[in-house]
């Protein structure tokens, strides 16, 4: 497949539609009470995982090994292990670790959790590569630095796109999180967050995707850069003998 924006957009739209379909099926089966049952069935993000894996293969890592979900566990530094959503090994070396998240509802409760999880995962992986169980795969040992990716699917609805209330903090907030004296929406907060994940070099690529449940359409922030960076990395990694 490689980086063909038009073809990739079509595949991504299909994956988003399947994402919604799998959530609805899980809810209908009553996996859990309330909307959480849609997500905790554990398969709703598989269409996107499969697409990312296919993209990596076609971009230069055709012979890589792919591990998903429970099989994608890496040893940590601050904890015994961390389960990523997709781990890629190439010629016995760690090539990539990618985290996928989704959020539909409960935005106030989960936004900070998602931020802390993403930062913690990145810090733990970096420490493990620097001075932990994964140091044998670090750039200092002659390996290409593993690609770290983070992708969030966020439902585009009134609750996720409306502005928040007045800030409540002991000191002034960073102005980027405010508009007209009020907090920006959760969708905009995720946009700022993913941008800063990359600027701070916590991740090599990070993106937020606003997806509509009604028609399967989506809007991506940082998504084009996510595919481009992933494609460049896979091509570079695949060329190393």
Instruction: For residue range 202-224, list pLDDT tens digits in order.
Output: 999 999 999 999 888 999 999 99
pLDDT at residue 241, as a whole number: 64
Of the candidates 194, 207, 203, the one whose C-alpha atom is nearest the C-alpha of residue 124 is 203
Give the whole-angstrom CA distance, residue 158 versus residue 29. 27
- Measured in whole angstroms, the distance separating CA 206 from the mean position of its chain's CA atoms is 6
- Average pLDDT over the chain reads 92
Task: Please check whether residue 132 is in contact with residue 122, taking contact to mean a CB–CB distance below 8 angstroms.
Answer: no
Chain centre distance of CA 120: 14
Strand 205-211 to strand 147-155: parallel, antiparallel, or no bridges (unpaired)?
parallel
For the full predicted model, state whether its pTM sits above 0.85: yes
The full set of domain ranges for the chain reads: 5-236
Is pLDDT of 24 > 50? yes
Is 40 or 71 the better-scoring residue by pLDDT?
71
Q: pLDDT tier at 108 (50, 70, 90 boundaries)?
A: confident
**Intra-chain end-to-end CA distance of the chain, in Å:** 22
Express each pLDDT in 27-61 by its tens digit: 787 655 554 444 444 689 999 999 999 999 999 99
How do residues 114-162 score in pLDDT, each as one tens digit? 999 999 999 999 999 999 999 998 888 888 999 999 999 999 999 999 9
Residue 226 above 80 pLDDT? Answer: yes
Average pLDDT on 9-19 reads 95
């Amino acid at each position: 497949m490689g980086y063909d924006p038009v073809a990739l957009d079509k595949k991504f739209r299909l994956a988003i539609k399947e994402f919604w379909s799998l959530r609805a099926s899980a809810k209908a089966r009553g996996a859990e009470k309330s909307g959480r049952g849609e997500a905790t069935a554990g398969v709703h993000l598989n269409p996107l995982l499969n697409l990312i894996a296919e993209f990596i293969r076609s971009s230069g890592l055709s012979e890589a090994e792919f591990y998903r979900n429970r099989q994608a566990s890496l040893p940590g530094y601050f904890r015994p292990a961390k389960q990523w959503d997709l781990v890629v090994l190439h010629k016995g070396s760690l090539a990539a670790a990618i985290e996928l998240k989704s959020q539909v509802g409960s935005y106030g409760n989960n936004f900070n959790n998602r931020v802390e999880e993403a930062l913690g995962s990145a810090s733990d992986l970096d420490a493990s590569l620097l001075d932990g169980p994964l140091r044998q795969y670090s750039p200092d040992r002659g390996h290409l630095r593993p690609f770290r990716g983070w992708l969030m699917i966020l439902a585009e609805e009134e609750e996720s796109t409306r502005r928040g209330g007045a800030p409540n903090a002991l000191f002034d907030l960073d102005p980027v999180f405010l508009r007209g004296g009020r907090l920006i929406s959760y969708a905009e907060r995720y946009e700022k967050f993913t941008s800063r994940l990359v600027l701070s070099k916590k991740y090599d690529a990070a993106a937020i995707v606003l997806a509509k449940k009604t028609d399967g359409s989506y809007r991506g922030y940082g998504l084009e850069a996510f595919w481009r960076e992933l494609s460049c990395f896979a091509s570079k990694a695949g060329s190393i003998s």
